Structure 1
Amino acid sequence: MPRDTVTPEYHALLARHDAMRLRRQMLAPDRSPAARTARELEPTYDGAADQRVIVQSLELVASLDDLIARLYDALFGHWPYLRSLFPESMDFQKRHLVQIFRYLIDRLHRPDEVAAQFTRLGRDHRKLGVRPAHYQAFEAALCEALRGTAGAQWNDAMEEAWLRMLRFAVAAMNRGAEEALREPPSWHATVTRHELRGPGLAVLRVSPHEPYSYRAGQFAAVASPLLPQAWRQYSIACAPRKDGELEFHVRQAGPGGVSEALVARTGVGDTLRLGPASGTATLDAAPTRDVLLVADDTGWAPAKALLEELAAHRSGFRMVHLFLGARHAVERYDAAAVAALAQRLPWLRVIHVATGEQTLAEAVARHGDWTRHLAFVSGPPAAVGAVATRLAALGLPAEHIRHDPLPGMPALTGRRAEALEGADI
């Protein structure tokens, strides 16, 4: 079927599949998914053994980029109707899938971590209309691509290792989708405010049409009707509000993408789509340590949400230090909100950093001893990685440094640079 004319019958079929799965879930014994580990769900799977075989087989695969290009050629060649599930441009999509395979191969010896990540990814994929039958087609396309890329030296043992890896990840994604059947696959939201705060930067307020659950510090995938099936992830820049509205800070990453559509071609009254909230860079119920917030550019968005949450439920900590980075003072696009919070919250100290003169990591390192703090780092991946690395080198334990996963992790938990956001298998 053409990619822009998915039939009502197709959507009706997907709805029936959801209804049957929901019925099975409601009739099944009640057991919290959080209590189940990958070992319980896949007790015989030896990820480390498959990892060794797959790593050795990579010598036969010219490059993961070539493998993924062949995979999509096979997928759309045999099942052209699946093209409708993907955005018009496949360039970012292919780069993202390379990252997912790298993540799988690198961490296959840690199946619990892989299962948790892909369970969340499966929950998020519901917004695309992805179903188990689609993964079967994906598996067949992968086999064809592996054989075509590796050539005559490819063997059954290598293929079986790749398939077990894929099936392990897909099983987790299917569980995530089934466990989320009580919530919508996506939410429609009306834009209630759209403010340009500088060249290529906008602050949006949106009102979801249905209740939307999230925690301060999380992010959501956002889609514009101008670019069907193209999603990008943005931090929610406010703690949960009584009126239910959400705030997003969007910097345009380039021409023609979702960020450009949101910044330059979206206005009040337009309707966007939201995926479920994701991310674990959130506050403990009652933080007992002083808090360090380090935010670069639009990384201010999750920091702002965390500050609002701390102001509403302050307990246990004495001080919060906020290092806020911008290349120049004129680029402090939300200066009024920062000043208002600093004036209202006596326990907040704000340190502005001109990142055109020094890096955030350097500024944080020079300012004091953070080894007893709970740190949250947000912003472009390069800045986040540099700050997290410096804090760890200064003696702050890794479990007390919180940020969204950096490139190489599934995009469900990625954020910031458009080239590192929101694509799907």
Structure 2
Amino acid sequence: MQPETAEAPLSDHEIALIRASVSVVAPLAEDMTVYFYAILFARYPEVRPMFPPGMDAQRGRLLRALLRIVDLVDDPESLVRFCGHLGRDHRKFGTLAAHFPAVGECLLAALARYVGHAWTVDIAAAWAKAYGVIAQVMIRAAEQDEAVRPAVWPATVVHRVSHGHGIAEITVRPHEPYEYSAGQYVSLETPWWPKLWRYYSVANAPREDGTLTFHVRAVPGGSVSDALVHRAAVGHVLRLGPPMGDMVLDAAVHEDLLCVAGGTGLAPIRALIEEVARRGERHQVDLFLGARTGAELYGVNDMLRMAQRHHWLTIRGAVSHEYIPGIRGSLPDVLSEYGPWYHHDVFLSGPAAMVMSAGETLTLAGTMPDRIHHDPFETPVLSAP
């Protein structure tokens, strides 16, 4: 697939206008997204069935995407990559090219209302131009994607294991071939909550039988996670969106790898380690697992068995809120104790606060930022509670 390219790049003045307007509207951003969807559904009621009955998560997703776009507006290459991901991912909602003008109209109307007296003709023109570039990239990416693969993949649950503490391991078999890379994440929809999609990392490298395993923790108020942990059973059919994420093994340049996983963040890390084993490459892998208590340090025995089979894999577990034999402390602190790691490619996964702190610790100790890999913070994989 050819990479998307953005035409008509924004000038420095237009970028400054967009960022200035966002700084004005930022304190009212949540109210603005409520207003945006209200006028979108009022002016274009035909789009309402595309969205779930409860809109809280959807409004948060829009807000995160807008903030990310503004953050990348002076980085055309990253902006195109991000918007390309959005375009491909939005196919699962039934988004068509004809929907983009309506969204753009209502977005500018919402911005104008909440920017207030600071809104000018020049700001409106800059936003219109920026939205045009974004829409162009998303539409092109969706059209290219449509030519080679489905928008969604039905997948039957074929195995389920409970790990306690609200964590379940769920394995599905897609009804059509599903190509992805170890380390990527996938959006899931359950039959109990139609149109509610949540992101989960695949916990295995690609298998010959085509199955995918997900580690899901039921979170308070999490409709989808609760359904997956407590209701999903063998035979139920879920739906998968396209694979996303760039935290893949091909991003590494060093032979030595440092993998750091907190909680269910073990899922993509396990997939990466399986991929190292599958390829038979000469990597030395140091894996650090972290949790608040020893009971929550799940997956250790499974990874220890893997280390027994592969001499290049070293595993250390750490707990931060319990006095037990072994390593005690937060993962960033433990990494400092066992470093330095500046000759390694680093893969981080888990709670956003841990990923950010570990990344800062490693950077201060000499690891180059472009050698630290993790999913983007605006994805629910990292930002969920």
Shorter-chain TM-score: which interval? over 0.9
Other-structure match for 1:18: none
Matched, 1:52 2:24: no
Q: Distance in 1 between matches of 2:342 and 2:369?
A: 10
Partners of 2:256 and 2:108 in 1: how far apart?
51
Shift of 1:178: 0.8
1:179 alignment partner, SS class: helix
Measure, in 2, the Cα distance between the counterparts of 1:83 and 1:347: 53
Deviations 1:303-345 (A, max 9, x none): 111111111213233x211001122222232233112102111
CA distance in 2, matches of 1:198, 1:167: 48
Instruction: State the partner residue of 2:373.
Output: 402
Tell me the distance in 2 between the aligned counterparts of 1:366 and 1:151.
Answer: 52
Contact 1:218 1:278 in 2 (8 A): yes
8 Å CA contact 2:157, 2:234 repeated in 1? yes
Query: In 1, distance between residues paired with 2:242 and 2:285?
Result: 29
**Amino acid paired to 2:17:** V
Q: Which residue of 1 aligns with 2:354?
A: 383
C-alpha contact 2:260 2:287 (8 A) present in aligned 1: yes
Partner of 1:135: helix, strand, or coil? helix
Give the C-alpha shift of residue 45 in structure 1.
2.3
Q: Which amino acid aligns with 1:303?
A: I
State the partner residue of 1:83.
Answer: 48
Distance of 1:265 and 1:333 partners within structure 2 = 21
Q: CA deviation at 1:256?
A: 4.7
Q: 1:286: Cα distance to partner?
A: 8.2
Indicate the SS of the match to 1:180: helix
TM-score (norm 2): 0.93
Q: 1:146 maps to what in 2?
A: 111
Judge conservation of contact 2:155–2:172 (CA < 8 Å) in 1.
yes
- Residue 216 of structure 1 and its aligned partner are, at CA, apart by 0.7
One-letter identity of the residue aligned with 1:228: P
User: Does 1:213 pair with 2:182?
Assistant: no
Give the deviation of 1:33 after TM superposition. 1.5
Matched, 1:372 2:372: no
1:115 aligned residue: 80
Worse-superposed segment, 253-262 or 337-346: 253-262
Contact 2:165 2:296 in 1 (8 A): no
Quick one: which amino acid aligns to residue 377 of structure 1? L
Q: Which amino acid aligns with 2:144?
A: E
Aligned to 2:215: 249
The amino acid that maps onto 1:305 is A
Structure 1 residue 175, shift from structure 2 partner? 1.2
Q: 2: CA distance between counterparts of 1:418 and 1:330?
A: 21
Amino acid at match of 1:389: E
Q: How does 1:299-310 map to 2 (within 5 A)?
A: 299-310=265-276
Highest RCO, 1 vs 2 (Cα 8 Å, sep ≥ 6):
1
SS in 2 for 1:375: strand
d(CA) in 2 for partners of 1:152, 1:236: 47
Question: What secondary structure does 2:290 align onto?
Answer: strand
User: Amino acid of the residue matched to residue 12 of structure 2?
Assistant: A
Structure 1 residue 33 and structure 2 residue 2: aligned?
yes
Report how far residue 241 of structure 1 moved: 0.5
Work out the percentage of aligned pairs sharing the same amino acid: 37
* 1:66 CA drift (Å): 2.1
Q: Is the 8 A contact 1:220 1:274 kept in 2?
A: yes
In the TM superposition, 1:270-281 aligns within 5 A as: 270-281=236-247
Give the 3-state SS of the residue equivalent to 1:94 in structure 2: helix
Instruction: Report how many aligned residue pairs link the two structures.
Output: 377
List aligned pairs for 1:5-404, cutoff 5 A: 33-34=2-3, 37-38=5-6, 42=7, 44-58=8-22, 61=25, 63-181=28-146, 182-284=148-250, 288-317=254-283, 319-356=284-321, 357-404=328-375
Deviation at 1:212, TM superposition (A): 0.4
Q: Secondary structure at the match of 1:370?
A: coil
Relative to 1, partners in 2 of residues 1:326 and 1:212: Cα closer, same or farther, differing over 3 Å?
same
The C-alpha deviation readout for 1:357-406, integer Å capped at 9, x for no partner, is 51100001101221101111111111111111111111011121111111
Distance 1:180 1:71, change over 3 A: same
Gap runs ≥5 in structure 1:
1-31, 420-425
Alpha-carbon contact 1:190-1:271 (below 8 Å) kept:
yes
The answer as to whether partners of 1:287 and 1:316 remain within 8 angstroms in 2 is no
**Offset at 1:147?**
3.1
- Secondary structure of the residue aligned to 2:381 is coil
Q: Which amino acid aligns with 1:111?
A: P
DSSP-derived class of the 2:272 partner: helix
Give CA-to-partner distance per residue, 1:226-272, whole Å, 9 cap, x none: 11111111010000001111000001122352111111121111000
Residue 207 of structure 2 aligns to a residue whose secondary structure is coil
Q: Report if the CA contact (8 A) 1:288-1:315 is conserved.
A: no
Change (3 A) 1:149 1:245: same
Separation in 1 of the partners of 2:11 and 2:76? Answer: 6
Provide the C-alpha distance between the structure 1 equivalents of 2:24 and 2:286, rounded to a whole number of angstroms. 51
Displacement of 1:49 in angstroms is 2.5
Q: Which residue of 1 aligns with 2:325?
A: none
After superposition, the C-alpha distances for 1:158-208 in whole angstroms (9 at most, x for unaligned) are 111111111111111111101101200010000011222113111001000
